[in-house]
Structures are given as structure tokens and as C-alpha cells.
Structure 1
Amino acid sequence: MKLLWDIAFGMLGRRRRQTLVSVLGVALGVAFFIAIGSVMRGFQTYFINQTIDVAPHITMKDETRTPPAQPAFLAFPDAAVSVNGIKPRDRVRGIRASGDTLAMLEAMPGLAAAPVLTGQALLRYGARDVSASISGIDPVRQARVSNISKDMIAGRIEDLRTAANGIVIGDGLAMRLGLSMGDSFSAISPAGVTLSMKVVGLFRTGIQSLDQSAGYTLLTVNQVLQNRPNVVNRIEMRLADVTQAEPMARLIEGRFANRTESWEESNRNILIVFVIQNAIMYSVTGAILLVAAFGIFNIVSTVVFEKTRDIAIMKSLGFTEGDIQRLFLIQGIAAGFIGAILGCALGAAMIEGLAQVRFGIGTPAGNDRFLLARDWRLYAIGCVFALVSAAVAALMPARRAARLDPVQVIRGAG
């Protein structure tokens, strides 16, 4: 085998310029794959982390996934006449037996839960009216299922207990109303209840839809505001292992019948966009590596053509077809391997170069640069892709070399 390696590298060494071009083609393909993958995966990871930080991993709602069947259908499922358009019975909205449900959820290992009552309210300050979503929470339990505490820019979430009808709102909502810390304003619910609220805290998540239209108050205060005493319409949960959110949500929904959504289900449309982004990235970089593979195909084919007599002599000396095929495969894989190593180094350099770029503008989340993921898996995928492309490119000329008949070659040369 050592002899085959020596011969293979000797053949590549005699065609340094073509070999260098092929190796650089592979290196550029791997480097672009690593750099583009780092940018895309960095953004995706950042978005998912922001979503996981702001939103709960699992949310139970006071509704069912499918509406209940009509009594007529339950009584006569195969009837010839159907009944449609029946007005559903009025029922009190809210999660039934929320206290018992909450206790059973908290008994599950690796799961924290918090009760929430959400509702709309019109916030009035002077001549300004802004509609907002108000969530009534238990600050102690809420701290276990969300990271709202780290997003506070003024006050603390625990300060909700220190003031009568205290509220924590997004800084964007405060700006829309012209509010600051300690100001009082009126909150009017759709039930017609009006409460005087006092700003005890401001938060900034970096998600504009939340910062400009969300507020938190004590659960009991929001129950009074919405005129829904002792009612909870959401239970938010956080897991020790976020990857188990989807199967855990299905398990909880099957047990309690309430619609239960994981963060993956709630953000499915955006996650599908990420899949499309990855497909585009693999297609573009795959095309670059495919062009590089043609360079390897070209150099191995040229060597086979030029070394036809040498191949015939080697076969006459006892080299088998498998040996000849391995000889030229080694050349292709060696070019791919060297290109992959150089590509990894060039890709790392490109990532560090991108890390130095500054956009000169501030974003709500405080980022003014590329969000980069330094993930070893990108290097591994790029190297494997390069080696496979090189092996496939070298396979056809290697098989053609292995099938050469030494007698015909030598006779034709003579």
C-alpha cells in the first residue's frame, strides 16, 4: 500500500499547477460552506435562544384542539340528516381545576409551571389610549418559566407585590404612552372594569411586538381587571431539556385534553424558513464543491491518459485492477483531503474576519455585528462533503484505468 501512495503522490507532484488549482477549488468550497453556515446557524441559534428566553417552552390554553362534536352527531353518527350551525353553549372560559392541574404538572420531573391570566385592556394616560395585552402572573412561579427578570431595565418583577395595582410594561409601550417609572394611568378591560395602575418596572426583550404591547401584573389584579375571579386561561411551562418540548406537549395534551403548544409548534412557520435557508446554503456550497470536483476529475483523467503505458507496464508487473483503481482514487481523495484541511483553515479565518465587521447601527437586541456560530460540526460536514465529492470525481477515471488491457496498450504503442 505504501508503494501505491508513493506512486500516487509522485504523479500528482508532476502536475503541480493543475493539482494546486483543484486543491484551491475544494478549499474555497469548504471555506465558503463553513463561513455561510456559521452566519446562518448563528442567526438561527440566536433567534431560537431569544424565543426560548422570552416565551415558555410549553403553553397550555383554555381550549381544545378541535371543537366538541355536536350532540346530534354523537347520538346518530351515521344519520342521513346532518345538523349544522348550532350555536355552541356558553361556558365559562378558563382552565378547569387549574390548581389541581398545576400541582400535577409541577410533579413531573424536569418541569416548572406557572398560572397566567391574559386579557386585553385599553391603557389611558392623559389623552393617549393604547391597547395592550395584560398578563396576570405569580412572580415567584413566573421566574421559573421565563427569563423576564433578566430583561428588566428598570425595577424588578418582584416589585409587583410592593405597590397596589403595580404593573411592569415594555419600554416601547411606555414610550407610546409617555410613561415613566412611578407614573399612574388607567386600565380599562373589555368587561368594563377600570383600575388605576402604577408603573413599577420596565422591560426590554428585543422583540418589538412584546415591548410595545405587553404588560405584567399580579394574577389577582388582572383577575379583578378582567372580571374573571379565580380564573386562569394559560399555564406556562419550562423544561430542563428544551428539546423534549414537543413530545412533552403531546403527552400533556393527551392527559388533560386542553390545547397544549410547544415553542416549536408556535414558531413552526419561522422554523420552516430556517429549513429553506439551510437548503439554499447546501445547494450553493454544494455547487461550488461540484465545480471543484470537476477539477479533480479533470486532473485524474489527464493523468490516466498520459500514464496509459505506465499503467500497462504496472499491470504486466503484477499490479491488479484493484491496485490500479486504488492508485487513482488515492490521488483524488488526497487532493480532496488537502483541500478540505486548507478550507477549514480558510473558513476559520473568514469567520474571524466576519466577526470584526461592524454595521454601525444599533438593533433592539443590542447587536451590531454578524451572529456567528463556531460549530465544529460545520467543519466536519464540509470535510466529509469535500472527500465524498473528490472520491466520486476520481472514481470514473480510476475505473477506466483499471480496465485497460496491457497487451493492447503495449501492442498499440509498438
Structure 2
Amino acid sequence: MLIQIQVALTHLTGRRRQTLVSLTGVVLGVAFFLAVSSMMRGSEKDFIKRLVDNSPHITVSDDYRRPRTQPAELRWADGAVRVSNVKPQTETRGIRGYRERLAFVESLPALRVAPLLIGSAVLTFAGREQGVTLSGIVPKVMKTISTLPEKMIKGSIDALEGDPNGIIIGTGLAEKFNLTLGRNLSVVAASGGSRAMKVVGIFRTGNALYDENQTFTLLKRSQVLFDRSNRVNRLLIQLDAPYAARDVARQIEAVIGYKAVSWVEASEDILSLLIVRNIIMYSVVSAILIVASFGIYNTLSTIVLEKTRDIAILKSIGFHARDIRLIFLFEGVIIGVIGSVFGLALGAAIMRMLSIVQLKPPGVSEKVFLPIWWGPEQFALATAFAMASCILAAYLPARRAGSVHPVEILRGAA
């Protein structure tokens, strides 16, 4: 095998210009494959991280996935019974016996859960009114499952514990009503309950709609306002392993009965779109290496044509067809290995430059960086694509070289 490698190196160094062109194609192909794919995967992971971190991994609501079975259908299970236009019983909405259900969820490993009571309310200040979503929370628990504490620009969610009539609002609402910390406003719930409340915190998420319409207060205060004593209508759950959310949601729903929706289920269309985008991205960047492989094919085909007599001599002194094929396959491997090494280095340099680029999209106040993913599997994938392209490009010339008949070549040369 050593002699085949020596012959392969002799062939490549004998045609330095063509070898250099082929090598450059592989280097650029690997570099751009790595840079483009790392940027696309980085944007995907950044998007999923924002999607996962800014929303609960699992949301349990006071709804049922399927409507309750009617007594008539239970009584005549095998009969031709169909009950329609059933008016739901008037009742106080919320998760019944939520403390027992909350205790069950808390008993599951590797997760954190927070109860919420969410409803609609109208805020009134200086003659102006604004419909908002009012969420009753337990501050110390909310901090374990939400990024809200990180989004606070004034005050903190702990201030709710010190002021039972405190309320936290977003920057959009604060700017619209010209509100600051310590200002009082009136809150009227959809149930008719009202209360004068004081602004104890202001947050900013960057989502204008959320910042203008979302507010927070103590869970006990919201229960009084919405007239739902000892009730909640949401259980927000965060997992240590977000991608296990679908299975955990099914387990929770099977036990407590209420509808449990994982972030995977809620964002299924977005995740499907990301898969399609990845297929398109890898197809495009792989095309770069396929184009580079044509240069390798051209170089090795030319060598086969020029070295036909040398190949015949090698066969006549005892080289088998497989030995000849190995020589040209080694040439493709050598180009692939050297091109991959330099391509990975160039790709890493491009990734480093892209990672420090700052962009300021129109309408955005803060600069953002391009998300670059430095996962080792991305480097391995770029190398694998390069090596596969080089070996495939070398296969046809190698096969042609192995099929050379030494007798006919040497007889013709004589």
C-alpha cells in the first residue's frame, strides 16, 4: 500500500497546477460549506432557544382535549345515540383541585412548574383605558420558569410580595400611559371586580404587542379580582430537557385530565419549516463541493490518459487492477484530506469574522450579532461531505485506469 501512495503523490506533484486548482476547489467548498451551514444552524438554534426560553415548555390549561362524554352516550354505549347542541354547564372556570394536580406535576423529575390565573382586564389612568391580559403569579415560583426577571428594566417581580396591590407592566403600556414606578391606576376585571393598583415594576421583552398588553400581579389578588377563589387556569412547566416536552405532556394529561400542550406541539408548523430549510441549505452548500469534485475528476482523468503507458508497465511487472485503482483513489483521498484541513481552517476563520459582525435591522434599537454554531459535528459533516465528493470524483478515473490492458498498450507503443 505504501508504494501505491508514493505513485499517487508522484502523479499529483507532476501536475502541480491542475492539482492546485482541484485543491483550491475543495478548500473553498469546505470553507463555504462550514460557514454557511454553521450560520444557518446557528440561526435555527437561536430561534428555537428564543422560542423555548420565552415560552413554557408545557402549558396545562383548564380545557379538555376532547369534550366530555354525555350521560346518554354512556348509558347506551352501543346504541345509535348522538347528542348535539349541548349547552355547557355554567360554572366557575379554572383547574379544579389545582393544588393536588400541582403537587403531582411537582413530583415529576427534572421540571419546574408555576400556577397562574390569567384573565382580561381594563386599565384606567388619567381618563385613558386599555384592555390588557392580567396574569396572577407567585413571584418566587415564577422566577424559576420564566425569563421575566431578566426583562425587568425598573423594579422587580419580588416587589409584588411587598405590595399586594402591586402590578407589573410592559414598556409599551408605560410609554402609552406615561406611567412610571409608584403611579396608581385602576384595574377593572371582566368579572366586574375593580381595584386601585400601584406600578411596582416595568419590563421590556422587545415584543411590542406583549409589552403593551401583558401585565402581572399577585395570584391571590387576581383570584379576588376575577372572583375565582382558590382557582388557577394555567400551569406553566419548564423542563431540564426541552425536547422531552411532548412525552411529558402526554404523561401529565393522562393523569390530571386537563389539556397539556408542549411547545413542540404548539410550534409543529415552525419546526417543519426549519426541517425544509435545512434540506434546502445542505443541498445548496453540498453543490459547492460537487462542483469542486468535477475539478478532481478532470485532473485524474487527464492523468489516466497521460499515464496509460505507465499504467501498462505497472501491470506488466505485477500490479493488479485493484492496485491501480487504489493509486487513483488515494489521489482523491489525498486531495480530500489536504483540502479538508485547509478548508476547515479557512471556514473557522470566516465563522470567526461573521461572529463579530454587528447588524442593526430597521426599526430595531439594539444591534444584533450573527448567530454562529460551533458544534463539532458541523466540522465533521463538512469533512465527510468533502471526502465523499473527492472519493466519488476519483472512482471513475480509477476504474478506467484499472481496466487498462497492458498488452494492447505496449504492443501499440512498440
TM-score (norm 2): 0.94
**What residue is the counterpart of 2:135 in the other structure?**
135
**What residue is the counterpart of 1:312 in the other structure?**
312
CA contact (8 A) 2:58 2:236 kept: yes
CA contact (8 A) 1:54 1:205 kept: no
1:356 aligns with 2:356: yes
**What residue is the counterpart of 2:399 in the other structure?**
399
CA contact (8 A) 2:359 2:367 kept: no
Counterparts of 1:28 and 1:127, CA distance in 2 = 65
CA contact (8 A) 1:206 1:365 kept: no
Counterparts of 2:381 and 2:273, CA distance in 1 = 21
Counterparts of 1:380 and 1:65, CA distance in 2 = 44
Deviates more, 1:279-288 or 1:21-30: 21-30
What letter corresponds to residue 153 of structure 1 in structure 2? I
Counterparts of 1:165 and 1:364, CA distance in 2 = 34
Offset of 1:120 from its aligned partner? 1.4
Secondary structure in 2 matching 1:157? coil
CA contact (8 A) 2:312 2:407 kept: yes
Offset of 1:160 from its aligned partner? 0.4
1:45 aligns with 2:51: no
Residue by residue, what CA displacement relative to the aligned partner does 1:113-170 show, whole Å, maximum 9, x if unpaired?
A: 1111111112222233222211111111111222321221111111002123111112
Counterparts of 2:67 and 2:290, CA distance in 1 = 52
In the superposition, relative to structure 1, how do residues 78 and 389 fare at CA in structure 2: closer, same or farther (>3 Å)?
farther
**What residue is the counterpart of 1:332 in the other structure?**
332
Residue by residue, what CA displacement relative to the aligned partner does 1:235-281 show, whole Å, maximum 9, x if unpaired?
A: 11122233322221222122222111222222223222322221221
**What residue is the counterpart of 1:155 in the other structure?**
155
What letter corresponds to residue 307 of structure 1 in structure 2? K
Counterparts of 1:284 and 1:358, CA distance in 2 = 25
Counterparts of 1:375 and 1:116, CA distance in 2 = 37
Counterparts of 2:76 and 2:364, CA distance in 1 = 57
CA contact (8 A) 1:207 1:364 kept: no
CA contact (8 A) 2:73 2:81 kept: no
CA contact (8 A) 2:333 2:391 kept: yes
Counterparts of 2:142 and 2:358, CA distance in 1 = 36
Matches within 5 A, 1:103-182: 103-182=103-182
**What residue is the counterpart of 2:64 in the other structure?**
64
CA contact (8 A) 1:164 1:198 kept: no
Secondary structure in 2 matching 1:36? helix
**What residue is the counterpart of 2:290 in the other structure?**
290
**What residue is the counterpart of 1:204 in the other structure?**
204
Offset of 1:413 from its aligned partner? 2.9
1:2 aligns with 2:10: no
CA contact (8 A) 1:297 1:394 kept: yes
Deviates more, 1:340-349 or 1:239-248: 239-248
CA contact (8 A) 1:12 1:19 kept: yes
Offset of 1:81 from its aligned partner? 6.1
CA contact (8 A) 1:129 1:177 kept: no
In the superposition, relative to structure 1, how do residues 201 and 67 fare at CA in structure 2: closer, same or farther (>3 Å)?
same
Offset of 1:56 from its aligned partner? 2.1
Secondary structure in 2 matching 1:206? coil
Counterparts of 1:345 and 1:200, CA distance in 2 = 52
TM-score (norm 1): 0.94
What letter corresponds to residue 224 of structure 2 in structure 1? V
**What residue is the counterpart of 2:28 in the other structure?**
28
Counterparts of 1:153 and 1:217, CA distance in 2 = 17
Offset of 1:72 from its aligned partner? 4.1
Secondary structure in 2 matching 1:238? strand
Offset of 1:222 from its aligned partner? 1.0
Counterparts of 1:363 and 1:160, CA distance in 2 = 33
Residue by residue, what CA displacement relative to the aligned partner does 1:184-234 show, whole Å, maximum 9, x if unpaired?
A: 112222212222221100112233342222111100111122221111111
Unaligned runs of 5+ in 2: none
Counterparts of 1:229 and 1:38, CA distance in 2 = 51
* RMSD between superposed Cα atoms in Å: 2.1
What letter corresponds to residue 129 of structure 2 in structure 1? D
Counterparts of 2:392 and 2:78, CA distance in 1 = 60
* Percent identity (aligned): 43
Secondary structure in 1 matching 2:93? coil
Secondary structure in 2 matching 1:283? helix
Counterparts of 1:236 and 1:326, CA distance in 2 = 61
Unaligned runs of 5+ in 1: none
In the superposition, relative to structure 1, how do residues 412 and 77 fare at CA in structure 2: closer, same or farther (>3 Å)?
farther
CA contact (8 A) 1:121 1:134 kept: yes
**What residue is the counterpart of 1:343 in the other structure?**
343
Counterparts of 2:320 and 2:202, CA distance in 1 = 78
In the superposition, relative to structure 1, how do residues 76 and 334 fare at CA in structure 2: closer, same or farther (>3 Å)?
farther
Counterparts of 1:127 and 1:46, CA distance in 2 = 42
Counterparts of 1:290 and 1:65, CA distance in 2 = 49
Counterparts of 1:297 and 1:312, CA distance in 2 = 21
1:227 aligns with 2:235: no
